[in-house]
Chain A
Amino acid sequence: MITVEKLEKHFGKLHVLRGVDQHISQGEKVVVIGPSGSGKTTFLRCLNLLERPTGGRILFEGVDITDPKCDINRIRRKMGMVFQQFNLFPHLNILKNITLAPVQLKLMSQQEAEENAMRLLKRVGLSEKATVFPRQLSGGQQQRIAIVRALAMNPDVMLFDEPTSALDPEMVGEVLDVMKQLAEDGMTMVVVTHEMGFAREVGDRVLFMDEGLVVEEGTPAEIFEHPQQQRTRDFLQKVLK
């Protein structure tokens, strides 16, 4: 579904991604872990071109999205993204947050979009919040809405950048539960996270990134029980304590 070839990203002189090759298949759940500053966020943001790669190619469903002629707005409809800071639109109520894009992009009528939104809200247990504003919700609720907002576009893949890092500990579970449910439904997912439990339970494949490279990858069992690289072992020792 997504093929990444020799992906590179420079920020000025800073060489943040130094040749990443990856293939993500339909339905696969890929979890990206690694120390701070290793390029996980940058890698994820390159996948939907929020960051423009400075080298290499990214193919999405057979289309080279790094080609300047590619209509990236059209591609992004099929790639949902969930941010660490939720980024809900504070001036719109929850229903409007969810229906804005599908209606504006003429993918659905207002009524269809609202029905779809209500169905999704019900799935995450927030249907009674349809008419409130984001500020009136807890962090965990906001993040669940953010997931719903992305899902309302019927994406083929969902990208998550540390979706639980900005949450109070007691709210992490409710967001991870929604993500697990999504995984069970067969969604293709790329998840940057520090939640090793989630990685182990949900991940089909774990990528360990360091210094702009995927240093090691494998099933959760391989990475967590038998890491081959010293850097992976050091990192896991630190985060698992």
Chain B
Amino acid sequence: MLIATALAENIAGNASFLENWWNAVSPKLMDGTANFWETIYGEIYRNVIMEGRWLNYLKGLGVTLEVSFLAALVGVILGTVLALMKLSRTPWLSKPAGAYIHLIRSTPLLLQVLIINFGIFASVNVDKIIIGVIACGLNSAAYVAELIRGGIQSVDKGQTEAGRSLGLNGWQTMRLIVLPQAIKTALPSLCNEFIVLIKETSVLAYIALTDLTKAADYIRSRTFSPFTSYIVSALLYLAVISIFTKLVGKLERRLRRSDNR
């Protein structure tokens, strides 16, 4: 954010030519004589540059990434526990895990968020970010659990037998031998789950968390542009997710290389 503020000041200082242009364009916009490019420019100026609005987007993006990252952390930890529970031979572990996964995957995320916000945290004053992390984390855990369960089941059972035959107990064998291999197998899909999560946290705008989507809402309420701020937010999601997708692709190729060395 420090860098962003410095950048803002810098731009504000050098922005006089933008401002001059705006001063020339805005009357045309008012009386409807602006041409196509002038309209576009006017929209961008009002929705991005004017009053340092681009900072709202960046702050929103920061919140989106923060919530996504923390929710992913909750999701991976809880998801691993759920996967182990669901694979357990003890019914009082596997049944609740199965029921939880089914429940989460069969209801809309938005409703889960609303229920957690207006139900569980109705009377307590908790930071919206924390509510968002909990709601999205609980949701993501169900999907992560299935990915990790798939990973565990793809590990040859000879691995477990080798571990047990050396005298390791069931948990040691799972933790040291099976889980590392399972997570490696599931890693690309886990990263994709994270990408999905980044987009899905946009439902948190409903509980007034100022994420990237809510930032667009806010700016629209100030500028009365019909949809320009949404396009800007969408482009930012696109940019961030394109970067992650590229990284996941790289990771996948590296894993594949290490598999047939």
Binding site for B on A (CB under 8 A): 48, 50, 73-77, 79-81, 83, 85, 87-91, 100-101, 104-105, 133, 135-136, 146, 149-150, 153
When the two chains form their complex, are residues A73 and B169 in contact, meaning their CB atoms are under 8 A apart?
Answer: yes
A80-B165, A101-B167, A135-B261 given; 9 more Cβ-contact pairs under 8 Å? A50-B164, A73-B169, A81-B162, A87-B162, A91-B184, A100-B176, A100-B177, A135-B259, A146-B162
When the two chains form their complex, are residues B167 and A77 in contact, meaning their CB atoms are under 8 A apart?
Answer: yes
When the two chains form their complex, are residues A153 and B177 in contact, meaning their CB atoms are under 8 A apart?
Answer: no
B192 at the interface (CB under 8 A from A): no
Shortest beta-carbon contacts, A-B, top 4: A77-B167, A87-B162, A101-B166, A81-B165
When the two chains form their complex, are residues A76 and B177 in contact, meaning their CB atoms are under 8 A apart?
Answer: no
When the two chains form their complex, are residues B159 and A105 in contact, meaning their CB atoms are under 8 A apart?
Answer: no
**Closest residue on chain A to residue B181 by CB atoms:** A91
Known: A89-B177, A104-B172, A104-B176. A76 touches B165 (CB 8 A): yes
In the assembled complex, the Cα of A76 lies from the Cα of B168 at a distance in Å of 9
Residues of chain A with a CB closer than 8 A to B172's CB: 104
B180 at the interface (CB under 8 A from A): yes
Q: Interface size for chain B: under 10, 10 to 19, 20 to 34, or 35 or more residues?
A: 20 to 34
- Interchain residue pairs with CB less than 8 A apart (18): A50-B164, A73-B168, A81-B161, A83-B161, A87-B156, A87-B158, A89-B159, A89-B163, A90-B181, A100-B166, A100-B176, A100-B177, A101-B163, A104-B172, A105-B167, A135-B261, A136-B261, A153-B167
Interface residues of B, dominant DSSP: helix
**Closest residue on chain A to residue B167 by CB atoms:** A77
**Closest residue on chain B to residue A77 by CB atoms:** B167
In the assembled complex, the Cα of A82 lies from the Cα of B129 at a distance in Å of 53
Residues of chain A with a CB closer than 8 A to B163's CB: 89, 101
Residues of chain B with a CB closer than 8 A to A79's CB: 165
**Closest residue on chain A to residue B157 by CB atoms:** A87
Residues of chain B with a CB closer than 8 A to A136's CB: 261
In the assembled complex, the Cα of A150 lies from the Cα of B167 at a distance in Å of 10
Residues of chain B with a CB closer than 8 A to A76's CB: 164-167
CB under 8 Å from chain A, chain B span 111-156: 156
When the two chains form their complex, are residues A149 and B261 in contact, meaning their CB atoms are under 8 A apart?
Answer: no
Contact string against A for B residues 181-200, beta-carbon threshold 8 Å, 1 for contact and 0 otherwise: 10010000000000000000
Residues of chain A with a CB closer than 8 A to B168's CB: 73, 100-101, 104-105
When the two chains form their complex, are residues A89 and B261 in contact, meaning their CB atoms are under 8 A apart?
Answer: no
Residues of chain A with a CB closer than 8 A to B161's CB: 50, 81, 83, 87
In the assembled complex, the Cα of A105 lies from the Cα of B167 at a distance in Å of 8
Known: A100-B176, A136-B261. A74 touches B166 (CB 8 A): no
Could you say which of B162, B166, B169, B260 has the most chain A C-beta atoms within 10 Å of its C-beta?
B166
